[in-house]
Amino acid sequence: MLSRLPWHSPPFISASTSTREVLGSVLTDILQSSGNFQQSVSQGRRVISFHGSVKFVQTSCRISVPRVSVGRETQVPSKFLKDRKMVPNADPPSIEDVSRLYQLFDQSTKLVVLTGAGISTECGIPDYRSPNGAYSSGFKPITHQEFVRSSHARRRYWARSYAGWRRFTAAKPGAAHVALASLEKAGRINFMITQNVDRLHHRAGSNPLELHGTVYSVICLDCGFSFCRNLFQDEVKALNPKWAAAVESLDHGSPGSDKSFGMKQRPDGDIEIDEKFWEEDFHIPTCQRCKGTLKPDVVFFGDNVPKEKADKAMEVARECDGFLVLGSSLMTMSAYRLVRAAHKAGATTAIVNIGTTRADDIVSLKLNARLGEILPRVLNTGSLIIPALE
């Protein structure tokens, strides 16, 4: 049986409606209303004012969005992210579960948060290991060794990645991302680490250490030069002018036909492409500086996390007084070793994840819940005072 953090009834603001309740509800409403959320992104700033028996508080939320080229190639049918149920089933979090998680935020002064794929599945980006994840459909991710040694593998990877790019970037931050950004701005999170490469935390206003890199950058394996992924997309389009029309045919033509280069949308959000089209007719840009091989600036399976990032993550794990894992099974050693280090250093450790994880037997608290349901409720609990977000 897992031991749990002691539970104490959290303190409440004396007002009939607490500051936290108001802010948490507004954050949830913003995300539940696609129209309101789109407005907050396009204008870049939302100001919320409210009164009560507590002191007047004005809260501003600024959400920055990575630069994405506009045009028909970025217009994605809204039904794309609803094509498959990607989030595993979980019971709604109980009041006791919410209170226990609240206590971790309230009692920690140097809290480190590590997020995994589970926080992004709620935004429509599939994970690997859950019951509905990519592995369940037979998908096998490319390894670093395969990418480096095989031009065939690189061509296949970039063809599929180019075709799926606009769908990948159509995902928006979820309620959990926004809740974490609010807690971070309030000083309740000392440091954030993410295993994800999708930049959804950044779009919600956070700036986490990207342990496994990001697909928003491309790097040269030969000289180390890196540049924006959108520029790479433009280069691919220039070298392969027929592919833009082919990608468009996925949504507005005949999927699987020669006109769409044999591309079909797979249930897990991946792109299936007939090999005869990309084997000879797809050209990959080379490095502008040295003509070397380009790859996304991510850590593929079989590769190592860059030493500087690994050392920084280990440093904060050993120095924290609380370590919270959100949406990760911790099956990769790069993530598991951080939880283990924090535990050995005496920090309170906790996990919120649907399903078992590699560290279930060493953490003080394990909750089985959807992050988009429990984190906004933590914002509604007690008196976690959130300052203005700038």
Tell whether residue 354 is among the known ligand binding residues. Answer: yes
What angle (nearest 5°) sits at the alpha carbon of residue 291, between those of residues 289 and 292? 105
Q: How many CB atoms lie within 10 A of CB 257?
A: 13
Annotated binding residue at 371? yes
The answer to whether the annotation marks 180 as part of a ligand binding site is no
Amino acid code (one letter) for 363: V
Backbone angles phi, psi at 118, to 5 degrees: -60, -25
d(CA 71, CA 68): 10
Amino acid at residue number 32: Q
Location of structure tokens 């609380």 = 322
Beta pairing class for 365-367 and 209-210: unpaired
Q: Which two tokens stand for residue 377?
A: 């409720």
Determine whether the annotation assigns residue 220 to a binding site. yes
For residue 259, what is the DSSP state? G
Using CA atoms in the order 21, 23, 26, 31, what is the torsion angle rounded to 10 degrees? -110
Told to judge if 212 belongs to the known catalytic residues of this protein, a careful annotator would answer: yes
- Is 329 annotated in a binding site? The answer is yes
How far is 110 from 317, CA to CA, in rounded Å? 10
| Angle between helix 19-32 and 175-185 (nearest 10) | 140
36: annotated binding-site residue? no
Residue 251 marked in a binding site: no
Residue from 371, 381, 376 nearest 179 by CA: 376
Say whether 196 counts as a known binding-site residue: yes
Catalytic residue among 177, 201, 202, 212: 212
Question: Phi/psi zone of residue 309: left (φ > 0), alpha (ψ -120 to 50 degrees), beta?
Answer: alpha
Inter-residue contact 124 to 80 (CB < 8 Å): yes
Q: 3-state SS of the chain: helix, strand, coil percent to 5?
A: 40, 15, 45
Residue 81 is labelled as binding a ligand: no
Q: Is 328 annotated as a binding residue?
A: yes
Report CA Rg, the chain: 22
Range 251-258, long-range pairs (CB < 8 A, 24+ positions): 251/76, 251/77
198 is in an annotated binding site: yes
Collapsing DSSP states into helix, strand and coil, what is residue 59? strand
Establish whether 374 is an annotated binding residue: no
Taking alpha carbons only, the member of 17, 296, 369, 334 closest to residue 141 is: 296
Residue 195 is labelled as binding a ligand? yes
Q: 383 among the known binding-site residues?
A: no
Q: Binding residue per annotation — 353?
A: yes
For residues 276 and 48, what is the distance between their CA atoms, to the nearest angstrom? Answer: 55
- Give me the active site residues, please: 212
Residue list for the binding site? 195-198, 220, 223, 287, 290, 327-329, 353-355, 371
Q: Which residues sit in the known binding site for NAD(+)?
A: 195-198, 327-329, 353-355, 371
Q: Enumerate the known binding-site residues for Zn(2+).
A: 220, 223, 287, 290
